[in-house]
Every structure is written in C-alpha cells, then in structure tokens.
Amino acid sequence: MAYHLLRGLKTYHNIQLSAILLTEGRLAEEIRKLGVEVHVVDERKTSFFNILLTIRNILRKWPPDLIHSHRYKENILAYLISRFVRRVRLIGTQHGMPEVHGGKSSLRQRLIIKWNFFVLSRCFHHSVAVSRDIKATFVKQYGFKKKKISVIHNGMDIPHISPNRHKAEPFVIGSSGRLFPVKDYPFMVEIAKVVREKKSRVHFQLAGDGPERPKLQAVIEQYGLDNGAFVLKGHLENMSAFYQGMDLYLNTSIHEGVPMSVLEAMAHGLPVIAPKVGGFPEIIDDGVEGYLITERNPKAFAEKCLLLYRNKALRQEMSMAARKKVVQSFSIENMAEQYYSLYLKVASNR
C-alpha cells in the first residue's frame, strides 16, 4: 500500500516525498525506482533508541511538514520524533485490527497496542482507517474523535488482463496472505474437504508464508488433501500469474480491513467468497462481485464455491463486476487524491 500511495502522489508536483523504512528489501528498491528518496534504518541491527536518534538526525537535515506512518512501531517512533521537529504534523493509517499471534497476547503486546492507540487518538493530528468498520470500532472502543479520523480505502494498480481468458482444467480456488491465526486458513482446508467430497476436480492453492504453515500442512494431511488437492505455494514474487491461474478467490479471515489481496484478486477478474466481517461489505456486494457468508460454517462457504463451479455464466458475470468495482472505486489515483487532500488540510492547520 505504501508503494502504491507514493506512486500515486508522484503525480502531484507541489509536494516533495521521501520515505524512511526499517528494513532494506524489495519495497525500498521499488520506491527508489519511483525517484523517491529512501532512508533505511535497519531495525534488525539497531536498537529502538538508536533508530530514534538516527531518524531524528535525518529529519533535522530535511524537516518535513508532515509525517505519515503505518504501523505500531512506526507510529510510536513518529510521535517521539515529532518532539524534536518543530511544527510537524502527524497522520497515521491503521490497516486492520490488532492481531494476537498464537491466540494469546503477552503483557508486552498489550502494552504496545494500548500505547499505539493512545498515541494515535491523543497525539496524532489525524488518523486514517481503511474501512468504515475500523473507524467505527476505533471511535467506540478506543476513544478516537470522529472528526480526527477519516476513511480512505486502499488503492491498487489495475493489471492488464485479457477479458476473454480461457483457463484449462482443473478448477482452482485460491487465497493468499500471511499464514497467521487471524487469517484462519485451517478453516479454508475444512471448506476444501467439503468441496472435494462433492467435486474432486476442484483444487485449492494458498500463497504466502508464516508461522502457521506446519499446522496447515498437518490439517491438509489429516483430511487427505496432500495429494495435490490443496497446495501451499509459499512466498511468490509473481502474484499476477498466481491470480491468473485461479477461477475463484476465497477468504476465511476472522477479521479484515480492506485487504490488498482481495482487491488484487478482483482486479484480475476473480469473484470472491468471504465472511461478512470487517471491511468486506465495503468491497463486495453480496451476489454481485461474489458472496458474503454470515455463518462461520464450512458447508455454507462450500455451497457457494460449488455454485460458481457449476455456473460458468454466473461466474463470468461476477468476474466482470469484480474488476469493474476495483477500477471504479479502488484505484491508486482515487486513493492518492484522497490522501493528497487530507495532507493539505492537516498541513494548513499548523
């Protein structure tokens, strides 16, 4: 999302952009290709205190009017650094609800989450939620003021795909994301089991990596799907090819904001089946671009998967609707325009 935003903002010639990242890697390389100055302070080799000092020194040389941060650690750093940079304004984007890995939160995790929301709600000049659902939760549960939090949906680059692509068998249902508990991919395996009992020609693929992989592999083997019926693809560089090899996208998250993976799938013309939680109702109209499932029951999800498997005409209709929705409402240009307007508004209030 950060790359897409910077790319969109590059079209506005009256603002100067730079990025500070805490790791060197592909994101840094891609941002540099945009012609945006990148400073990397490696969090793997540097203590929190030294990260703070290094960023402070960078910003003292080039004092910004506005700092836009995106994660817990970065939000806290942005606030602390703002104490040393005169009149700088702070904006933070919250991309989802707090994730507790392993089902339980440590004291450290709870303190970080609590401090992050305190800093965002009390010390930042404005916050952005990527869905109306997240905004409502922050206002109700974390004390955010409505006038200091906006909703800006994520935007993405629209891929060029053939409108009449023909994919050979088998029928593939897929998903992508970090293999973390909040994504509940074992539930996806349960859905696959139900579908395969009805139609053995349907295959499942999951792209991504994370700590849940061993658990997932065990569930796949337990259900006898380790014969190629359910494949863990791991980390993939070419996600476009992954989406183009699918017929249907399936999300099983317990909670989501507006996930880029779902937008990417829709932009590639894939109907989406997802739980009716979080920001999904803001992306998908039930029965138009896919289906929203209210009950967390694998049979309910499997029923819609099989419906779209059997009904090619409906699948193609939803495919066109899904791509149209992203083109009209979730483009980089739409997102960048809204952030640009917010930047000007917040900066003018200094």
Domains and CATH numbers, the chain: 2-155+333-348 (3.40.50.2000), 171-329 (3.40.50.2000)
Going by pLDDT thresholds of 50, 70 and 90, the confidence category of residue 262 is very high
The answer to whether 326 touches 258, Cβ cutoff 8 Å, is no
Letter string b/e over residues 175-186, b meaning 16 or more CB atoms within 10 A of that residue's CB: bbbbbbbbbbbb
Express the helix, strand and coil content of the chain in percent, nearest 5 each: 50, 15, 35
In this predicted model, what pLDDT tens digit does every residue of 152-177 receive, in sequence order?
999 988 888 765 555 667 899 999 99
pTM: 0.83
Give the pLDDT of residue 229.
96
97 versus 244: the higher-pLDDT residue is 244
The answer to whether 72 touches 99, Cβ cutoff 8 Å, is no
Whether the per-residue pLDDT at 242 is higher than 80: the answer is: yes
Q: What is the pLDDT averaged over residues 121-145? A: 93
Structure token pair of residue 89? 């304004």
The answer to whether 158 touches 268, Cβ cutoff 8 Å, is no
The residue among 113, 101, 242 whose CA lies nearest residue 178 is: 101
Letter string b/e over residues 138-157, b meaning 16 or more CB atoms within 10 A of that residue's CB: bbeebebeeeebbbbbbbbe
CA pair distance 240, 161, nearest whole angstrom: 9
Strand, helix or coil for residue 37: strand
Measured in residues, the chain has a length of: 350
For the chain, first and last CA: distance in Å?
Answer: 27
Give the pLDDT of residue 105.
64
255 versus 91: the higher-pLDDT residue is 91
- Left (φ > 0), alpha (ψ -120 to 50) or beta: where does 305 sit? alpha
The residue among 346, 334, 330, 329 whose CA lies nearest residue 8 is: 334
